Structure 1
Amino acid sequence: MALRAPTSDAPTRTGPAPLSTAQVEQFHRDGFLVLPGFLPDDLVTRLRPEVDRWVDEGLRARSIACAVDPAATGLPPVLELELPAHGALIAHPPLLELLARLMGPSFVFHHLHSDRQEPDRPGKPWHHDYEQHPQTDRTFTMIHTLHYLDGLTEDTASLVVLPGSHREVAAKDARADRGTDPLPGELVLDRLPVGSTVVLHSALFHARRALPGGRGAHRYFLDSSYCQTGRRWPPVKPYWRYALRRARELRLDGGRWPELFAERHFTEYERPA
């Protein structure tokens, strides 16, 4: 039977707080942390219209097209990290302090995804997002931080995780044949307050489980990802160098995280088969 994260009828925000030793141990054991109300109200308020712009003006679609066929489309007209609140999210000080506790003081930004997921969008099958070709080990940590601007409620698709599965060495789609079906030992996250963040080890299997019948509300979702330094990581976008350069030009690291946008931590881009 699926487990559910503890919920209440009126979930409250907790805000950022230093991670406890127990939380760090839980992350390494289970592969995730749930941080209700982690993002401050002002950042959530600034992010929401930027997500609307990203979707409504076709910037997200153009970004995807540039990644699929860079020779034909060139560079995106706008990068997510060039939107002021999106850039602030990438280098949000409490977030980077949290990552330093989980990965050590040296890590690099990998990518940012931003979306407003419509209620009738199909679920996303079981998968993980650990970038390694081929998948051979889990020596170095990669983390995806999943930010839910409106939280998760009974009117939005849920996030489902499989605790401990980050310790497996498996292909990203090793469980894709199960679709979004329940798996033994899964944990359902479907009740989180505004501005909540779920921190995933990128090798953790997870899925987005849609509500039946295409009903519900839009789901405002951002995913910022980071990698522990010490190995070179495969980038996922062909214009990754341009993105890192723009982040440096915008001084998003605040002068405090010298490796956050360093190119030397990546291999060359290889287009997926």
Structure 2
Amino acid sequence: MRPEVDRWVDHGLRARSIDSVRDPQRFGVPPIMELELPAHGELITHAPLLRVIDQLMGRAPYVFHHLHSDRQAPDVPGKSWHHDYEDGAQDDRSATMIHALHYLDGLDADTSSLVVLPGSHREHADKAARVHLGTRPLPGEVVLDALPPGSTVVLHSALFHARRPRPDDVPGKPRYFVDASYCEVGRLWPPVKPYWRYMLRRARELDLAPERPELFAERHFSEYVRSA
């Protein structure tokens, strides 16, 4: 995974992917997507991971939503409290959405930490409901700052979480981070990339999950609406 992430960042592929989302009419479909990188595609359907998601979904079928990959700089700023559940009205939690946060080198004193707020996924709250709090400590939070290399944190996508920066100015190390999300079928989910149909078609063409026909099925999504 690490060499692929390096390629994704150093060759401008991540920047090109971001451009395709920000201005799809100008940039169109990116030349390469994350799932077309062999190890990234394998990670999406990694059998031990899918077995965990099977359990959390209660054996309900689910569809792949998206994958993001990055090598965050040692001085990456914090990311304020937020959640990632994709629902415009944020008033329906009947269908489960799960994020898998992969930390290729783990988390330690040389990287920013992950902070989560247990139980917050039961709220019907906007993604940015706590963004004004920045990354400040909150009552009941759990800090994840000591994870071994290759760790994955699996959480309900509506769980509020934050990336808390390191507390000092001493240079740290790059933070290799890949996140993927999966959605319970039974409702239409809003896609986050304008080229989502192409993404799912390429996953099927690459035969990433031949034994799971719902995982890359287009019928579980609504039309793409560009964020304001």
TM-score (norm 2): 0.98
Alignment of structure 1 residues 1-273 onto 2, 5 Å: 47-103=1-57, 104-211=59-166, 212-213=168-169, 215-253=171-209, 255-273=210-228
Q: Name the amino acid aligned to 1:188.
A: V
RMSD of aligned Cα (Å): 0.8
- CA distance in 2 between counterparts of 1:178 and 1:160 reads 13
Secondary structure, counterpart of 1:213 in structure 2:
coil
Note if contact 1:121-1:214 (Cα within 8 Å) is conserved in structure 2. no
Query: Greater CA deviation, 151-160 or 213-222?
Result: 213-222
Q: Name the amino acid aligned to 1:141.
A: T
Shift of 1:75: 0.7
- CA distance in 2 between counterparts of 1:251 and 1:271 reads 29
Note if contact 1:119-1:219 (Cα within 8 Å) is conserved in structure 2. yes
Cα distance change, pair 214–265 in 1 and its aligned pair in 2 (3 A): farther
Q: Name the amino acid aligned to 1:125.
A: S
Percent identity among equivalent residues? 69
- CA distance in 2 between counterparts of 1:177 and 1:224 reads 26
Q: Tell me what 1:44 maps to.
A: none
Shift of 1:214: 6.5
Cα distance change, pair 80–230 in 1 and its aligned pair in 2 (3 A): same
Q: Name the amino acid aligned to 1:81.
A: L
Q: Name the amino acid aligned to 1:62.
A: R
- CA distance in 1 between counterparts of 2:139 and 2:173 reads 28
- CA distance in 1 between counterparts of 2:214 and 2:54 reads 12
* Aligned length, in residue pairs: 226
Secondary structure, counterpart of 2:211 in structure 1:
coil
Shift of 1:66: 0.2
Shift of 1:155: 0.6
TM-score (norm 1): 0.82
Can you list the C-alpha shifts for 1:114-143, whole angstroms capped at 9, x where unaligned? 000001111000000000011112111000
Q: Tell me what 1:12 maps to.
A: none
Q: Where in structure 1 do 4 or more consecutive aligned residues deviate above 3 Å? A: none
- CA distance in 1 between counterparts of 2:56 and 2:99 reads 12
- CA distance in 1 between counterparts of 2:135 and 2:178 reads 20
- CA distance in 1 between counterparts of 2:170 and 2:191 reads 33
